[in-house]
Amino acid sequence: MKLPNNFFFKMFSPVICFMIFINIAIAQNPIVTHMYTADPTARVFDGKLYVYPSHDVDVCNELQGSNGFCMPDYHMFSTEDMVNWKDHGVIMDQNEVPWGGKDQYGMWAPDCIYKDGTYYYYYPGVPADKSAFRRIGVATSKSPTGPFKQVSHYIKGIQGIDPGLFVDDDGKAYLYYGGGNGKGALKVVELKDNMIEIKDKAKDVEGIVYKGYREASFLFKRNDIYYFTYARIGDNNYQIEYAIADNPIGPFEYKGVAMENIGNGTNHHSFVEYKSQWYLFYHDWSISDNNRLRSMCVDKMEFNEDGTIIPVKPTLRGVGTPKAGDIIQIDRHNGIEKAKVSIVQGNQPRGFQLDYIENNGWVKFDRVNFGDGSLQELRVRASSENSGGVLELRTGNQDGPLLASVTIENTGSWNTWKTFTGKFTGTTQGVKDIVCVFKGKDSYLFNVNWIKFSAGDVPESNNTLAYELQEAPKPSVKNKLTEEELLRIPKKRGEGIAKIGEVIQIDEHNGIENARISPTQKPQPKGFQVGHIDDKGWIKYDRVDFGEGNLKDFKAMVSAGERGGTLELRLDAKDGPILASMDIENTGGWNKWKLISVPFTEQTNGVKDIVCTFKGDGANLYNINWIRFTSSSVPSSLEAHPLEKGYTNTNISTTKTKKVPVANKKQNPIVKAGDIIQIDKHSGIDNARVTPVEGDQPSGNQVGYINDGGWLKYAGVDFGKGKLKTMKALASSGVSQEGILEIRIDSLTGPVLASIKIPNTGGWKKWKLVSAPITGKAEGIKDIYCLFKGKGKNLYNLNWLRFSSDDVPSSKKAHPLEKSGSVSAAVPKASGGSTETPKDRARRLRDIAKGKKIGIPLGQIMAIKSGVGKYLSVQGENIAATADAIGEKERFTVLSVSGNVVAIKSMATNKLFSARLNQDGIPVIASHSGEPQDWEKFTWQKIGEIQFTLKAHNSGLLQVNEDNQNSLTAGKGSKLSIKGILAFEIIK
């Protein structure tokens, strides 16, 4: 039903600005959301603040970009109030660089500085002459917004990334840049007056902590103190640090942390003073869940009396005070209740939204400037799949003076956005805190992206903004690959079986996480490698024939330009038994390859799947080109392979790992009807993760973090002669919306074998058995794909699957792992009936009665069916379960809803009835006369294992008719139990 509450979510392809000079009214973090922007350098020119960031896109393939980053051009932005940001469009494209390689997607962090009437724009680029990883180029302009004219050559005598410029009070200009790691990786050089040549040789920046240095050279001056800042992997991982000196060259004195790790894979920053306030600009990856698709942010910063920096803590609220006409992203809140924040979806620019909004929920947003109080209209950008509700704008707190109300209607879906308006009925002036209060009758009312108000003293505040009309924009860079290039892109693992002694090109994988495939760097042969390896990453390789066993050595061709890490060879899964483990140290550079060999510490044989798991401190541990095994049973495998020639076989004595018994299973074990399919033992996975089981299940693993469109493959399922019956799954879910598990044959687009609905089970640790009849056909041995469907992320968890067949009678019996409290997801028949037995239905109704409440739209016409499968009809004062088909007498209209208590009216007799709705819209009903009153509404008094007791609001108790156990009347009397069979189901 709702979009998930998850800040770390993969977004759509990035977009260019939809027109040049867009006014982007975003006062909150991130400050730009219509595209990805990173490495922001902020400068103040002529009273206006400009930001020069890099531009991340996500359309590169394995042949494009550098280190996983895909960056084709540069935009720039400006502001005068720290609220409204203007996108000045592309000021430089990668293919405009006269000395640069074409289509390299390597335009990393830039800077811009003013000197003697000219603006100088500095940037790193990939040189066409391949003389270095990056060279630093210059472009000039008479305006801070360009156009910039390219200097025909890069700055000679230096090479590196992240140029940072500083012009001192005496007019001398300095260029800071970095590249590599370790002492001397950061350089400073004075520039000549022409700003495109170096005056002397570059010097090392002295006095900083080099261990773990990553990027971002930036120097600023305050009160005659020179602050040199940079990003480093320190004690708290990726953080911004600084050192000070009394001159721009140093040596500097290390002072500490300016911003602690914020959970980014990277960070790159700048400091600037604007209108007597200091700010720290940086980037995060909150709207992409990808540390290579980043968004720039800004927060205020302050100094201690001694000049040291008070560490900056990032905020959602950001800086600036919005006013009439500005977009207010209220998800960047200062307080929230009965609502959540998620990534926005649908026809809106990337960013965040408020969702899971409940009645009487609210969100607070500080510092809004209402000017002189001539308020006119409030606009709200919202979506709803329910009946909507009302947004009240109040000042101070949720009970403060009411300024305006806006009615929000159903927009067609949670992802379809519309702008709703309402007039101001109250007034205020000056800078005030605001609170949006949400009212409505459904369980979840609507989603909100932003609000905006107009005022008479700000005429342009009533203009229609592009954000009010915009549909989801298109990607800014198209993937243009030749047929030859397409053939070079690495393919997934084929059908062959790797054997002892063969080289396994590990990039041709069956699954990968926290690592990336890229072209092999010299001096290895052309091909691909696994790089950008992070701690806890892994890569899987199916079907390796270990023969008779007698395993001797595990070999790997590796390179490491930094600290290295550990490579573990595991059996079957990323947490499977360890066969061998090798430590990889710095090899002298990413292109310096070494052959490492370690002995097997455990044995196995036959055809098995293997997983290489990566461990180390942080990110970018090492690269792997290939692996190879040897065995004393295969003498030829002990000889050097042609790819090993020229390399020293570095034998590493490792501490023997704790022995874990490795079962010598039969080759390619087949799962049959009645067997438990532990789906974490997969042959492929995407948009889901394997984690240890939590909750009321035996120890083991589960598949969790399941996102819409994700999938899991399981190879080798024997469906026999195909007389299939039921598919079951053990699942858990802590979200309100229902998810779907589709079982498909052979591929993600193959025939659907079964479709299982997975409801909220009461929590992520509460497991229930869900099932559905097998509606498709399959026979013999097939591969199956579990395709995950739902809205957003974190749909449900799965522990195992099981199917039954008429050919295997025992497969229809309950397995020991199946628990009694099951949830059936039977597919209704065309007649409205079900495959459930009355006993199954009664059990399911009891389970549902314990679930969460939901709402039903007013005026909805429905038919009602009792727990024994009969349709209800009106007979006198009672409702009796006597009809076998839906007729006019069996239809009812919803009159009022209060939470999950409703009043309904028969369309045949106009008599009124009360119903207490449960999670599936299942009511227990009593008949009345007159208009709906409190005495006609009922609540649960007690829910036992098999009995329900209802109590009227006027303290009267329901009575069961003695002559008809399927009917109820309202009245006062002794307390009676009402059996589960008296629950009724709404059939639309």
Distances (CA, A) of 773 to 724, 753, 858: 9, 9, 34
Query: Which single residue is written with the structure tokens 């930036």?
Result: 218
SS (HEC) of 842-891: HHHHHHHHCCCCCCCCCCCEEEEEECCCCEEEEECCEEEEEECCCCHHHE
Phi-psi region of 908 (alpha: psi -120 to 50; beta: other; left: phi over 0): alpha
The one-character DSSP state at 425 is -
CB-facing half-sphere around the CA of 200: CA atoms within 13 A = 10
Distances (CA, A) of 726 to 92, 335, 814: 60, 48, 12
- Rounded Cα distance between 988 and 985, Å, is 10
Please name the residue ranges forming H helices in 332-471.
Answer: 466-469
Is 215 part of the annotated catalytic residue set?
A: yes
Q: Is 704 exposed, middle or buried (0-12, 13-18, 19+ CB in 10 A)?
A: buried
CB distance 382 to 455 below 8 Å: no
- Rounded Cα distance between 713 and 699, Å, is 22
CB-facing half-sphere around the CA of 23: CA atoms within 13 A = 15
Of 833, 671, 803, give the one whose Cα is nearest residue 741.
803
Q: Which candidate in 58, 111, 162, 215 is catalytic?
A: 215
- Rounded Cα distance between 469 and 430, Å, is 30
Number of H helices, E strands in the chain: 3, 67
Per DSSP, the three-state class of 461 is helix
Task: Give the DSSP H/E element, type plus range, for residue 342.
Answer: strand 340-343
Is 39 part of the annotated catalytic residue set?
A: yes
* Both tokens assigned to 394: 């109040």
- Partners of residue 379 on adjacent β-strands: 421, 452
CB distance 265 to 213 below 8 Å: no
- Rounded Cα distance between 151 and 154, Å, is 7
Give the length of the chain: 988
Report, in angstroms and rounded to the nearest whole number, the Rg of the chain calculated over CA atoms: 33
CB-facing half-sphere around the CA of 184: CA atoms within 13 A = 2
- Rounded Cα distance between 353 and 450, Å, is 8
Q: Which candidate in 39, 111, 331, 675 is catalytic?
A: 39
Of 438, 504, 623, 588, give the one whose Cα is nearest residue 67.
623
* Both tokens assigned to 578: 């360890």
Please name the residue ranges forming H helices in 423-525.
Answer: 466-469, 483-488
* Both tokens assigned to 579: 């066969």
SS (HEC) of 633-690: CEHHHHCCCHHHCCCCEEECCCCCCCCCCCCCCCCCCCEECCCCECCCCCCEEECCEE
- Rounded Cα distance between 595 and 617, Å, is 22
Q: Is 644 exposed, middle or buried (0-12, 13-18, 19+ CB in 10 A)?
A: middle
Task: Give the DSSP H/E element, type plus range, for residue 594.
Answer: strand 589-599
What is the phi/psi pair of residue 980, to 5°? -60, -25
Q: Could you give the residue numbers annotated as active site?
A: 39, 215
